Structure 1
Amino acid sequence: MRGFFALTGLLFLVACGDGAVDDIREIASMSEDADKNLDAFTDSIRALSEKPGCSLDAMREHGGFWRVADAPLYFIYCGNPAQKSNRWYFNPRSGEVSQNKAGL
């Protein structure tokens, strides 16, 4: 699985300018527990930024990933937080992102 993320990250670096990569890393570093999960957050933010309706500006505005109080997960808003569809959950152990907390 790590090899997949490494290859995906490398392809993303080739496809994007340095500005997008810097933005993604900046957002990841703003996240809660970034000192423990920086690379995983970076990969997840990159993947989310490619989804329709998700924007790096919104992820930055809302401060990156935040720990879920009752589970070993994190959440991030990739758009207007008033719309539940803009809330994504991340499991740092598996690397999975989902809009369904129970599915992780």
Structure 2
Amino acid sequence: MTANLLASPSEALPEEIVDVLARGQGVRVERIVSRGHVSGWYDQADHEWVALLAGEARLEFEDGEIRHLLPGDHLLIPAHRRHRVAWTPLERDSIWLAVHYRAD
């Protein structure tokens, strides 16, 4: 089966879309579509590498650091580094690729 990472849903998005693309042996790969969504604080047991493929987003970290992401930007969020999605635009989709992997 073939799918497109950049495909945007045409319907309204009351919640983010999270599609698990692959998983196994302590690794999970997700495609996430946000449209004006923000999140609560995450404190994850796994490391997360995230790339913004389309749109725009602002990540906020508990220590006060703020990262404004544009397409192509990526970063590694170590396990237990508290963070949240503070902003995504309402008028267009922000499409993420996230890889969660076990902390050693």
TM-score by length of 1: 0.25
**Which has more radius of gyration?**
2
More strand by proportion, 1 or 2? 2
> 1 or 2 for the larger relative contact order (CA 8 Å, sep ≥6)?
2
